[in-house]
Structure 1
Amino acid sequence: MNRKPLLTLTFFLLAFAACNPKKTADVKRPKLVVGIVVDQMRWDYLYRYSAHYGEGGLKRLLKEGFSCDNTMINYLPAFTAVGHACIFTGSVPAFTGIAANDWVEQSTGQRMYCTDDSTVKSIGAEDPESKEGKMSPRNMLVSTVTDELMLASNFRSKVVGVSIKDRAAILPAGHSATAAFWLDDSTGHFITSNYYMTQLPSWVDGFNKQEPVKAYVKNKWTTLYPKSTYGESDTDDQPYEGKFKGDSTTAFPHNLDSSYKIAKSSFRYTPFGNTLTLDFAKAAVEGYQLGQGDVTDFLTINCASTDYVGHQFGINSIEEEDTYLRFDRDLAAFLTFLDEKLGKDGYTLFLTADHGAAHAVWFSQNHDIPADYFLPAQLTDSLNAILGHDFQTPNLVDTISNYQVTFAMKTIRAKKLDFSAIKKVAVDWLRRQPGITYAIDMSNIGEGPVAEPVRSMVINGYYYKRSGAIQLIPNAGWFEGRGKTGTSHGTWNPYDTHIPLIFMGWGIHSGHTEDPVKMTDIAPTVAALLHIQMPNGCVGKPITQVLKK
């Protein structure tokens, strides 16, 4: 028998196999990746309320997962849209273009919301032209790890984003998502836009028909446990707490029904917005059969009510503590749901935050800790008066927002004014104002004595076409104020930029690290886990301690 042809064929097949990569199906990946971003969650909340946490929520993540205990945001400003874009792109505003929640287009002076898209229509809203649904990810200039998963699977994966906030559903899900859903306050229903689909899936219609928001607001918001046990919070009804519309006091219990009748958005300022979000996420897993196919799917979830509650009541309120205790319970139920649907080793989950928050100004001052507001509107008026006198032109400052100064560039160009001279006068005056540590001319940041890490964070956050020409760095404890209650965020300080980051599930070690980690490292870590390319604007690097070898 002549074996030469057989041997030749054998060698050819072996060589072919060696030169060809494995099929996508041969690469080991989890059935589903779940990315949960808890809005305004400071890192210390993992431990601050832990005496009341159950065993199945945050404590389970810390026990079974891998916690990166020194994860920091590495850009400014520390806002919601910017954080969600960074987490899922591994990039910073200088590349993503998502420079704030909203901004001024520097070339035209036009106000722009981060996910505004006039070319699309609302799907699920009562009016297709409703602005609540005219949203898409088109203002984001780079890809997300969810986009890269779609590319790696030849668009066979399913990617779904869920939040009551539009921007927090849209940006994480990326440009090529299967769907993103967010809440329309006017109806209490989840909606989307025709960027994704022409009509809501039947399972979304079915969820909306249950009218869950109306069911939640029928009851008063009372504490989950006896109020006297909330030892990590201030006493109730403090001067720094905001009121629900229609309420005469900031104290528990809160009559949600009457507040909702006055302002539909009041539902967001309750812990039940998180409950609703996770219930809808469960419905999305069922409706799209996420994790049931032969390729990896991805579900992004933003629990946003933690942010709304913090803004209204402040981080030392009983309302804040109760919101996290209820979130912990909802998270435990969601993890149990995933266990039952996919098995404990069938999914990989990470939990992080888009930013933190400062203590309320009144609370800090009451405890002799330096803090105060600087008021953008007052600063704008005063600076315009200075510049108007020096340059004989009114309203040279368009706005002060996002801790940045935006100038009226059309006027400056039309009158052929010396912009460098205008900025110099502005910077010199702003530096002398109470509560301002730095006023930085972004075109000359290399010439100024700006300390690290602020210097790098400012540069990372600056996108020329959408960022103001002067960056303001307030004193620690100071933040932009629009009222005298609640809290805010956006600054470089650790209370705004030290965030939780925990991975758990398939492919993940249990343990923790104190090594410095950046928010930009999250997306490349997920990409490494999935053996896919990093997002195309990624500047982070994988956190190798997290991943099983």
Structure 2
Amino acid sequence: MKNIFSLIVVLFVFCSCGAQNTTTDIKKETSVLETTARPKLIVGIVVDQMRYDYLTRFESKFGDGGFNRMINEGFNCKNNHFNYVPTYTGPGHASVYTGTTPKTHGIIGNNWYDKEIKESVYCAGDDNVTSVGTEDKAGKMSPHRLQTTTIGDENRLFTQMQGKTIGISLKDRGAILPAGHTANAAYWFHGRDEGRWISSSFYMNDLPQWVKDFNTSDKAESYLKEWDTFYDISTYTESGVDENTFEGGFKGKEKATFPYDLKALSKDNRGFDILKATPYGNDLTTDFAIAAIKAENLGQDKTTDVLAVSYSATDYVGHNFGVNSKEVQDTYIRLDKDLERLFNYLDSTVGQGEYTVFLTADHGAVDVPSYLHSVKVPAGYVDNKDRKVKLNTFLNTTYGTEDIVENISNDQIFLDRAKVKALGLKLSEVQDAIAMEELSYTNISKVYTATTMSTTSFSKGVEELLQNGFNQKRSGDVILVNDSAFISYSKTGSTHGSGLNYDTHVPLLFFGKGIKHGQTFDKTVIPDIAPTISALLGISFPNGATGQPLGFVID
């Protein structure tokens, strides 16, 4: 009996040890899954005003470590488009990270007329917060007008606020809208006579020491130097001639030609702000992003972090010099070097194959219409003043007053609905009458009313794009569509905002952990990005997401 009892004890101990070892093994396997299944760091890169054809037009000038590394090792979506209008910076950044369009996330422009408070508002402006890092009002910003969550928000919620989210951009909106509502920080560059990175009290009460150290390092000052082409300018055969009549240039320099003495020119060009319109603005952004990765220990543990980087200098250069300029080409050649520098740093700190990157743009841009016109492509400039005079004449003749129109902005007409009602008029009939009047004006292609956008479902064409960009609470009563390549802008430099291919067709590259190698010509749209990253991480999609995960991208 004693021997049997001893045997039972031995068996019990053996089984207990085995069970304990099995539990330990399971914990080890779970731990391994937690640390290997998900990337340690998601890096979202938005290149402001990057047309898709810059990838192909400047390809021969790119090295192997930037754009081409993403293409050669990652996945290239070659037919990627914005699926809404307007194609501006604020809506673009919001759409990339929320996985939906202005119809849902509410950022209908960089600025828009607020129908409730009867004044124009800025997409990131917030008078209820204070500037951090400057006494200037440039820090009074937050994401409070963004109505949905972002990838960063969802990752923060999924990780019980352990995963960090940080947004970085020369532009406040380029940092704030991608970072979302729960971000640890968003930083943007305040130029003029300060040249420093700042934030707002929405995120913090004081800048971290590493940001203060960066600001006192004179890094920004070091870029106030000569800007000449990276390679011999004679090899820049993929862009137009350096001296032409289609570029803006800088105050204080007679011709918009290389080289540019930025230190000397800064005095007449808002001080440090001149850096924003040169490739050195992207260099500075990369410097700051690398400093953030190091100081904040991004990607250094098993919990995924999110870093949103927006390269804004490309947009400033494009607006100033135009998409066919030598200045734009040089900016992208230098940006390619910045990407290589960033990826190399990520390889050495986070670890090669341990992070995931996506790269896209917030919109494209039109060739300078005056240049297009010179080569016999239909293009030109709209006369908004003439349109307004004609519209006021129509309103006075038809309704006895022009006061029923409250605001005209962003190709939208906002009516004073109280005035319309007081005059005993039917809102939809007034909208229709103004729409038909506007349609008769030169260089207006199409006109739609808010009533039509709210009651009719469109599934193709510019009508679908307009509807995806139409927010019932925030958008206007009448929406105008200009002729192709006809813009409201100066006769030098490029702009954007339409639903045409030059504004909608932008790059979409995925690269790194969990990403297949390949390419597709199948159409993808900007709202697909956030659900794809969410699927890769196994987290909830942003709460308003309407895009679909691109399964063919994920390994």
When the two structures are superposed, what TM-score results if normalisation uses the length of structure 2? Answer: 0.92
Contact preservation (8 Å) 1:123, 1:200: yes
Deviations 1:481-510 (A, max 9, x none): 232111111111111001101111111111
Q: What is aligned with 1:251?
A: 257
1:124-523 alignment, distance < 5 Å: 124-125=133-134, 127=135, 130-186=136-192, 187-217=194-224, 219-264=225-270, 265-445=273-453, 452-479=460-487, 481-523=488-530
Contact preservation (8 Å) 1:247, 1:255: no
User: What is the distance in 1 between the residues matched to 2:334 and 2:155?
Assistant: 32
Q: CA RMSD in A?
A: 2.6
User: What is the distance in 2 between the residues matched to 1:449 and 1:88?
Assistant: 25
Aligned residues: 540
1:329–1:153 CA distance, 2 compared to 1 (3 A): same
Question: Secondary structure, in 3 states, of the residue corresponding to 1:190?
Answer: strand
Rg larger for? 2
Contact preservation (8 Å) 2:444, 2:481: yes
Deviations 1:188-221 (A, max 9, x none): 100000110110011101111122222212x222
User: What is the distance in 2 between the residues matched to 1:198 and 1:328?
Assistant: 35
User: What is the distance in 1 between the residues matched to 2:458 and 2:374?
Assistant: 31
User: What is the distance in 2 between the residues matched to 1:281 and 1:261?
Assistant: 27
User: What is the distance in 2 between the residues matched to 1:245 and 1:259?
Assistant: 7
Deviations 1:27-70 (A, max 9, x none): 72111110000000011111101111111111111101111111
Matching of residue 69 in structure 1 with residue 43 in structure 2: no
Matching of residue 44 in structure 1 with residue 41 in structure 2: no
Deviates more, 1:200-209 or 1:253-262: 253-262
Deviates more, 1:231-240 or 1:261-270: 261-270
User: What is the distance in 2 between the residues matched to 1:8 and 1:251?
Assistant: 80
1:49 maps to a residue whose letter is: F
2:431 maps to a residue whose letter is: K
User: What is the distance in 2 between the residues matched to 1:269 and 1:413?
Assistant: 47
1:156 maps to a residue whose letter is: Q
User: What is the distance in 2 between the residues matched to 1:426 and 1:266?
Assistant: 42
Deviates more, 1:377-386 or 1:74-83: 377-386
Task: Tell me the CA shift for residue 394 of structure 1.
Answer: 2.6
1:100–1:250 CA distance, 2 compared to 1 (3 A): same
1:279 maps to a residue whose letter is: D
1:133–1:9 CA distance, 2 compared to 1 (3 A): same
User: What is the distance in 2 between the residues matched to 1:292 and 1:22?
Assistant: 18
Identical aligned residues as a percent: 39
Contact preservation (8 Å) 1:189, 1:211: no
Contact preservation (8 Å) 2:453, 2:470: no
2:405 maps to a residue whose letter is: V
When the two structures are superposed, what TM-score results if normalisation uses the length of structure 1? Answer: 0.93
Q: Which residue among 29, 37, 48 is the counterpart of 2:38?
A: 29
Deviates more, 1:49-58 or 1:105-114: 105-114
1:9–1:381 CA distance, 2 compared to 1 (3 A): farther
User: What is the distance in 1 between the residues matched to 2:12 and 2:424?
Assistant: 83
Task: Tell me the CA shift for residue 436 of structure 1.
Answer: 1.5
Deviates more, 1:80-89 or 1:107-116: 107-116
Matching of residue 526 in structure 1 with residue 533 in structure 2: yes
Q: Which residue among 54, 58, 65 is the counterpart of 1:56?
A: 65
Contact preservation (8 Å) 1:105, 1:465: no
Contact preservation (8 Å) 1:312, 1:487: yes
Contact preservation (8 Å) 1:375, 1:482: no
User: What is the distance in 2 between the residues matched to 1:314 and 1:284?
Assistant: 32
1:295 maps to a residue whose letter is: T
Task: Tell me the CA shift for residue 22 of structure 1.
Answer: 6.6
User: What is the distance in 2 between the residues matched to 1:201 and 1:29?
Assistant: 28
Q: What is aligned with 2:104?
A: 95
Contact preservation (8 Å) 2:113, 2:409: no
1:14–1:257 CA distance, 2 compared to 1 (3 A): closer
Deviates more, 1:465-474 or 1:145-154: 465-474
1:60–1:382 CA distance, 2 compared to 1 (3 A): same
Contact preservation (8 Å) 1:442, 1:471: yes
Q: What is aligned with 2:117?
A: 108
Structure 1 runs (4+) greater than 3 angstroms displaced: 1-11, 21-27, 375-378, 408-418, 445-451
Task: Tell me the CA shift for residue 462 of structure 1.
Answer: 0.6
Contact preservation (8 Å) 1:387, 1:425: no
Deviations 1:274-330 (A, max 9, x none): 111111000000110101123111100000010111111110111111111111111
Task: Tell me the CA shift for residue 428 of structure 1.
Answer: 0.9
Contact preservation (8 Å) 2:250, 2:265: yes
Q: Which residue among 112, 119, 132 is the counterpart of 2:128?
A: 119
Question: Secondary structure, in 3 states, of the residue corresponding to 1:383?
Answer: helix
Question: Secondary structure, in 3 states, of the residue corresponding to 1:412?
Answer: helix
1:182–1:447 CA distance, 2 compared to 1 (3 A): closer
Question: Secondary structure, in 3 states, of the residue corresponding to 2:227?
Answer: coil
Deviations 1:93-117 (A, max 9, x none): 1110111111111233221100111
1:381–1:397 CA distance, 2 compared to 1 (3 A): farther
User: What is the distance in 2 between the residues matched to 1:172 and 1:371?
Assistant: 34
Task: Tell me the CA shift for residue 267 of structure 1.
Answer: 2.1
Contact preservation (8 Å) 1:191, 1:200: yes
1:46 maps to a residue whose letter is: L
User: What is the distance in 2 between the residues matched to 1:309 and 1:374?
Assistant: 23
List runs of 5+ in structure 1 lacking aligned partners: none
Q: Which residue among 532, 544, 547 is the counterpart of 1:537?
A: 544
